[in-house]
Structure 1
Amino acid sequence: MTDPAASIDTTRFIGLNGGAYPVRIEYQWLNAEQADAPIALFLHEGLGSIALWKDWPQMLCDRLNCRGLVYSRPGYGRSTPRRPGEQWPVEFLHRQAHDVLPALLDALGIGAEERSRMWLIGHSDGGTIALLYASAFPEALAGLAIMAPHVFVEPMTVEGIEKARITYETTSFKDKLRAYHDDVDSAFYGWNDAWLNPAFLHWDITEEITSIRQPLLVIQGYDDEYASMLQLDKIKSAVDHAQLVKLTQCRHSPHRDATNEVNDAIAAFVRTHQS
Structure 2
Amino acid sequence: MMGVTWSNEAGQRLTAGGKSLEYAAWGPKPADAPTLVLLHEGLGSVALWRDFPQALVDATGFGVLAYSRAGYGASDPVDLPRPLDYMTREAEQSLGDVLDAAGIEHAILLGHSDGATIATIYAGSVSDMRIRSLILLAPHFFTEPDGLAAIRSAGDAYANGGLKEKLAKYHDNVDVAFHGWHDVWTDPGFAAWNVGDSIDHLRIPVLAIQGRDDPYGTLAQIQEIETRIYSPLETAILDNCGHAPQSDQPHATLEAVREFCARLDRIEREIVQMA
Aligned to 2:240: 249
- 2:181 paired residue among 191, 195, 203: 191
Give the Cα separation in 2 of the matches to 1:32 and 1:189. Answer: 36
Greater shift, 60-69 or 237-246, is seen at: 237-246
Aligned to 1:237: 227
Please list, as runs of the form range in 1=range in 2, the aligned pairs for 1:1-275 lying within 5 A after superposition: 9-16=9-16, 19=17, 22-32=18-28, 35-83=31-79, 86-110=80-104, 114=105, 117-137=106-126, 139-240=129-230, 241-274=232-265, 275=268
Q: Give deviations 1:101-140, integer Å, cap 9, x for gaps.
A: 0122223343xxx1xx211111000011111111023533
Give the Cα separation in 2 of the matches to 1:258 and 1:208. Answer: 28
Considering only aligned residues, what root-mean-square deviation do their CA atoms show, in Å?
1.5
Does the 8 Å contact 1:121/1:144 carry over to 2?
Answer: yes
Give the Cα separation in 2 of the matches to 1:191 and 1:33. Answer: 32
TM-score normalised per structure 2: 0.89
Give the AA of the match of 1:160: A
Q: Shift of residue 33 of structure 1?
A: 5.3
Change (3 A) 1:129 1:33: closer
Residues matched between the structures, number: 257
Give the Cα separation in 1 of the matches to 2:174 and 2:28. Answer: 30
Q: Give deviations 1:13-57, integer Å, cap 9, x for gaps.
A: 1233xx5xx421001111155741111100000000001111111
Unaligned runs of 5+ in 2: 1-7, 269-275
Q: Shift of residue 208 of structure 1?
A: 2.5
Does the 8 Å contact 2:87/2:117 carry over to 1?
Answer: yes
Does the 8 Å contact 2:120/2:198 carry over to 1?
Answer: no
Does the 8 Å contact 2:9/2:24 carry over to 1?
Answer: no
Does the 8 Å contact 1:134/1:140 carry over to 2?
Answer: no
Greater shift, 219-228 or 203-212, is seen at: 203-212
Q: Shift of residue 59 of structure 1?
A: 0.6
Does the 8 Å contact 2:15/2:97 carry over to 1?
Answer: no
Give the Cα separation in 1 of the matches to 2:28 and 2:180. Answer: 32
Give the Cα separation in 2 of the matches to 1:140 and 1:89. Answer: 28
Q: Shift of residue 173 of structure 1?
A: 1.2
TM-score normalised per structure 1: 0.89
Give the AA of the match of 1:172: G
Unaligned runs of 5+ in 1: 1-7
Give the Cα separation in 1 of the matches to 2:118 and 2:29. Answer: 28
Give the Cα separation in 1 of the matches to 2:98 and 2:144. Answer: 31
Aligned to 1:4: none
Give the AA of the match of 2:19: V
Change (3 A) 1:150 1:33: closer
Give the Cα separation in 2 of the matches to 1:267 and 1:61. Answer: 10
Give the AA of the match of 1:104: V
Does the 8 Å contact 1:144/1:216 carry over to 2?
Answer: yes
Give the AA of the match of 2:98: L
